Amino acid sequence: MSVTLQLNNLHKRFGGLVAVKDVSFTLSPGEVVGLLGPNGSGKTTVMNMISGALPCDGGRVTVGAKDITRMKPHRVAKHGVARTFQLVRPLPTLTVGENVMLSLAFGHKRYWGRQARDLAEEKLAFVGLEGRGDEEVSNLNYIDQKRMEMARALASEPEILLLDEWLAGLNPSELKIGIDLVRHLQGQGMTVLLVEHIMEAVRALCSRCIVMRTGEVIADGPSEEVLSQPAVIKAYLGDDHA
């Protein structure tokens, strides 16, 4: 464990819209960094390009010495990068455990059968879903769906975890549980890029924040400093989440 995630001049266009423009930053091993910005500022698009879900139009993504820019998602996972999705999308015909095992099959190492089942159980226990692997996904309430989504991401045994509003929609007590879970990962040395609108979570978890506005990075530095910058406050004005 201990790889750096580096983005160099990432660029993405959707037709005439420049969604991400010259985005560059580096995450050091073990850093938990907030990626903030108003709705539509390009945060999810950045995550999609890192994880291989979307091809970039320019720029480079490297993990350690490895260039992962043109890799498909399953190969990115093999290089130790995993993500959760802003919209949780479990495979509804599979059980909770099977949803997690599916990720295991595509991770760093491949696991099958008994070993995969045990590892899936281990990840489910870690996120608070101990012994619930045989349940139908449709039985899960919202926080448990979020937990399963996290277990799926962890199943590939990542070193770098991209969380896209993983804490969104939780009630206050669930939010505490969610923050504790991320903190636990932080304690294990996980590198985390946390896209989040909930400032309580950002302040609790991130010592550093990167702020985007209309596709560009407008601030990057220690959280307290960044969050008090006039340009950052202005970027959020008028936004629902400000």
Ligand X SMILES: Nc1ncnc2c1ncn2[C@@H]1O[C@H](COP(=O)(O)OP(=O)(O)OP(=O)(O)O)[C@@H](O)[C@H]1O
Footprint on this chain of ligand X (rule: CB under 6 A): 14, 17, 19, 37, 39-45, 86
User: 39 touches which of Mg ion, ligand X, none (CB within 5 to 8 A by kind)?
Assistant: ligand X
Residue 193, φ and ψ in degrees, nearest 5: -105, 115
- Closer to Mg ion by CB, 6 or 86: give it: 86
Count of positions on this chain that bind Mg ion (CB under 5 A): 3
Please report whether residue 45 would count as binding Mg ion according to CB under 5 A.
no
Among the listed residues 79, 87, 82, 47, the one whose alpha carbon sits nearest the alpha carbon of residue 154: 82
Which does residue 52 bind out of Mg ion, ligand X, none, counting CB within 5 to 8 angstroms by kind?
Answer: none
Closer residue to ligand X (CB): 111 or 166: 166
Q: What radius of gyration do the chain's Cα atoms show? A: 17
Q: Which stretch binds Mg ion (CB under 5 A): 6-14, 48-56, 86-94, 227-235?
A: 86-94
| Span from 83-91, 119-127, 148-156, 184-192 in contact with Mg ion (CB under 5 A) | 83-91
**CA torsion through residues 127, 128, 132, 138, sign:** negative
From residue 169, alpha-carbon distances to 86, 87, 165, 207 in Å are 11, 11, 9, 23
- If contact means CB under 5 to 8 A according to the sort of partner, which of Mg ion, ligand X, none does residue 103 touch? none
Q: Does 41 bind Mg ion (CB under 5 A)?
A: no
Nearest 10 degrees: Cα torsion 166, 167, 170, 173: 140
Q: Which is nearer to ligand X, 162 or 182 (CB)?
A: 162
**Shorter beta-carbon distance to ligand X: residue 4 or 86:** 86
44 binding Mg ion? (CB under 5 A):
yes
Q: Say which residue the tokens 């202005």 belong to.
A: 234
Compute the C-alpha angle 182/185/186, nearest 5°.
85
Q: Of 155, 161, 178, 181, which Cα lies nearest the Cα of 97? A: 155
Q: In this complex, which beta carbon is closest to Mg ion, that of residue 152 or of residue 197?
A: 197
State how far the Cα of 64 lies from the Cα of 70, in Å rounded to an integer.
15
CB 40 to ligand X: min, Å = 4
Q: Which is nearer to Mg ion, 43 or 132 (CB)?
A: 43
Q: Which residues bind Mg ion (CB under 5 A)?
A: 43-44, 86
